[in-house]
């Protein structure tokens, strides 16, 4: 029997390690991918002084936010953007050929005669004796991912994979949820552990455990139908799907974890400690506030961290009620998008092995590291409580 248990434990550990390796292997491939969409190139006139462009400059250039090469340190020439679909505006169908066999020569001619042009074209249409110049956009870097302020994976010609708006959205919603859930959860834990009668506690305990068993999609549906319109009307917003709505839902979902762990920590305070406080003349409330809660502070801290972990990893409910707007938030009344919601919403649309696919796996790596840190912190705090006990 012992050998079977040992084998099961080793098998589980091996599966977990292999999953983590696979996760990081798939995600790390993002940093070898080109900034420009694979199979395409950016070409300019050979007299253009610009040699390199980063992903932000490329986006602003193709969105017409930058309209002159002088804004990028080049010559004072207006920028002309050329996509493959724009070529018929410059070249006749007869010049392209019946089967577009002369398309490479037409592209080369356009780039040669237009000094301000930047062409986003398939690499296969670049002729061998190309008279223009290819822009070096490099590969996606770690800094582009970590400090990037935009998440726009379908942008062309350069997709944007900035972690910052998703990370901040996750933190805003999670921290706000804990700030809402902590006072209520701690109050209920104190009541159940110290004030409630055994009969009352026997009624409340199953109800709280039932909250933990409700599917997250039900919470999300409740938030979408009830909370979102309520918050929209109270604050006079255009939409009710905001970070605050997600925080309220996550606070409700985190309550069972906080209450259960905190109550267990409070109930493990030795009876002799309570009796000593009462014997010195302290009232029951004074004993709770100045003796019991400080004594159980490690367990309560673990409850808070586990509650944060519950909030950080939640997917479906947050996906339904936060508005899914990948922007850097500056208020709880703004729509946001969290890391788990992004993975759930976009993984089905990303082609396997592609840049978008690898970026989503890298988001999963970030989420894994966040929850790992929270779990290790909770374990450390719990072990301190056990040693103290």
Q: Please say if the pLDDT value at position 128 is more than 90.
A: no
- pLDDT tens column, 311-327: 888 888 899 999 988 99
Q: Is 186 found in the same domain as 44?
A: no
Q: What is the CATH number of the domain that holds 75?
A: 3.40.190.10
Q: Alpha carbon of 209 to those of 178, 213, 227, 297, 313: distances in Å?
A: 19, 7, 23, 23, 19
Within-domain flag for 15: no
Q: Are strands 117-122 and 80-83 parallel, antiparallel or unpaired?
A: parallel
Q: Is 204 found in the same domain as 77?
A: no
- pLDDT tens column, 5-14: 888 878 888 8
Within-domain flag for 348: yes
Which pair of tokens denotes residue 332? 């709880």
Q: Is 187 found in the same domain as 118?
A: no
Instruction: Quickly count: other Cβ atoms within 10 Å of residue 282's Cβ.
Output: 16
pLDDT of residue 282: 86
| Domain containing residue 96 | 40-139
- pLDDT tens column, 214-239: 888 999 999 999 999 999 999 999 99
Reported as type and span, the H/E element at residue 82 is strand 80-83
- pLDDT tens column, 196-218: 888 888 888 888 888 888 888 99
Q: Is 246 found in the same domain as 309?
A: yes
Q: Is 118 found in the same domain as 170?
A: no
Q: Is 132 found in the same domain as 232?
A: no
- pLDDT tens column, 234-290: 999 999 999 999 999 999 999 998 998 899 888 888 888 888 888 888 888 888 888
Q: Cα 6 to the chain's mean position, in Å? A: 37
Dihedral through CA 5, CA 10, CA 12, CA 14, nearest 10?
A: -170
- Picking from 122, 139, 156, the residue at the C-terminal end of a domain is 139
Q: Please say if the pLDDT value at position 61 is more than 70.
A: yes
The span from the CA of 26 to the CA of 33, in Å, is: 12
| pTM beyond 0.85 | yes
Within-domain flag for 150: no
Q: Is 195 found in the same domain as 80?
A: no
The span from the CA of 373 to the CA of 245, in Å, is: 26
Tally of domains within the chain: 2
Q: What angle do CA 146, 150, 156 make, to 5 degrees?
A: 115
Percent with pLDDT over 90 in the chain: 36
The 10 Å CB-count burial string (b at 16+, else e) for 121-148 is beeebbeeebebbebebeebeeebbeeb
Q: How large is the average pLDDT for residues 20-25?
A: 86
Q: Is 349 found in the same domain as 233?
A: yes
Number of residues that this document lists for the chain: 389
> What is the full DSSP assignment across 96-148?
H-TTSTTHHHHHHHHHHH-TTEEEEEEGGGS-TT--SEE-B--B--HHHHHS-
- pLDDT tens column, 28-45: 889 988 999 888 999 999
Q: How large is the average pLDDT for residues 3-23?
A: 83
Q: Cα 49 to the chain's mean position, in Å? A: 38
pLDDT of residue 384: 65
Q: Please say if the pLDDT value at position 382 is more than 70.
A: no
Q: Is 171 found in the same domain as 123?
A: no
């Amino acid at each position: 029997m012992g050998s079977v248990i040992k084998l099961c434990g080793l098998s589980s550990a091996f599966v977990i390690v292999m999953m983590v390796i696979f996760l990081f292997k798939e995600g790390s491939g993002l940093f070898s991918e080109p900034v420009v969409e694979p199979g395409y190139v950016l070409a300019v006139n050979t007299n253009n002084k610009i040699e390199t462009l980063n992903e932000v400059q490329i986006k602003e250039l193709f969105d017409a936010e930058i309209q002159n090469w002088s804004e990028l340190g080049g010559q004072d020439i207006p920028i002309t953007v050329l996509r493959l679909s724009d070529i018929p505006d410059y070249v006749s169908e007869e010049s392209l050929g019946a089967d577009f066999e002369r398309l490479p020569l037409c592209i080369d001619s356009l780039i040669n005669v237009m000094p301000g042009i930047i062409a986003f074209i398939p690499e296969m249409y670049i002729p061998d004796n190309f008279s223009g110049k290819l822009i070096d956009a490099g590969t996606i870097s770690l800094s582009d991912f970590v400090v990037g302020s935009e998440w726009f994976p379908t942008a062309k010609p350069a997709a944007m994979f900035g972690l910052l708006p998703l990370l901040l959205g996750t933190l805003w919603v999670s921290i706000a949820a804990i700030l809402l859930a902590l006072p209520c959860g701690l109050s209920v834990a104190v009541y159940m552990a110290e004030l409630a009668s055994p009969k009352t506690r026997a009624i409340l305990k199953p109800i709280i455990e039932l909250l933990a068993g409700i599917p997250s999609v039900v919470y999300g549906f409740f938030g979408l139908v009830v909370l979102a319109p309520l918050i929209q009307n109270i604050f006079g917003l255009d939409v009710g799907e905001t970070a605050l709505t997600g925080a309220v839902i996550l606070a409700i979902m985190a309550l069972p974890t906080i209450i259960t762990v905190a109550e267990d920590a409070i109930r493990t305070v030795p009876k002799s400690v309570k009796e000593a406080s009462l014997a010195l003349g302290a009232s029951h409330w004074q004993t709770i506030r100045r003796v019991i809660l400080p004594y159980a502070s490690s367990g309560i801290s673990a409850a808070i961290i586990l509650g944060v972990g519950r909030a950080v990893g939640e997917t479906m409910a947050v996906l339904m009620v936060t508005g899914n707007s990948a922007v850097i938030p500056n208020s709880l009344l703004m729509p946001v998008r969290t890391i788990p919601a992004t993975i759930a919403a976009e993984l089905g649309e990303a082609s396997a092995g592609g840049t978008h696919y690898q970026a989503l796996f890298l988001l999963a790596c970030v989420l894994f590291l966040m929850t790992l840190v929270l779990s290790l912190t909770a374990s450390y705090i719990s072990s301190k409580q056990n040693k103290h006990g």
